Amino acid sequence: MGVSKYGIKVSTSDQYDVLHRHALYLIIRMVCYDDGLGAGRSLLALKTTDASSEEVSLWVYQCSSLEQAQAICKVLSTAFDSVLMAEKA
């Protein structure tokens, strides 16, 4: 999973094939959490919309650690904040 100012790119572990892209402007909400089943799985959930804002999708990804999930949320939060600051200026 790669995060940039454009959004999130989900690819295979060798990064050869792109499985999905989530554009930053289509992400409505994100949250990271432990699955609560005692297995120590950390999950990242994204709520997205399509370009016409007619449909909403929920994507759930398993991260290798809670720290990784939190880091992804932090980077995305920073990207959202920078976009909002640019709009206010």
Q: What is the pTM of this model?
A: 0.75
Which residues 6+ apart lie within 8 Å of 4 measured at CB? none
Fold for 2-86, please state it: PH-domain like (2.30.29)
Confidence at residue 85, expressed as pLDDT on a 0 to 100 scale: 75
Contact call for residues 42 and 68 (beta carbons, < 8 A): yes
The secondary element (H helix, E strand) that includes residue 20 is strand 18-23
19-65 pLDDT, tens digit each: 999 988 898 888 888 877 766 678 889 999 988 878 899 999 888 88
Q: What is the CA angle 84-82-55, rounded to 5?
A: 60
Confidence at residue 87, expressed as pLDDT on a 0 to 100 scale: 65
Q: Is the pLDDT of residue 88 over 70?
A: no
Residue ranges per domain, the chain? 2-86
Q: Is the pLDDT of residue 89 over 70?
A: no
Give burial (CB, 10 Å; 0-12/13-18/19+) of 61.
Answer: middle
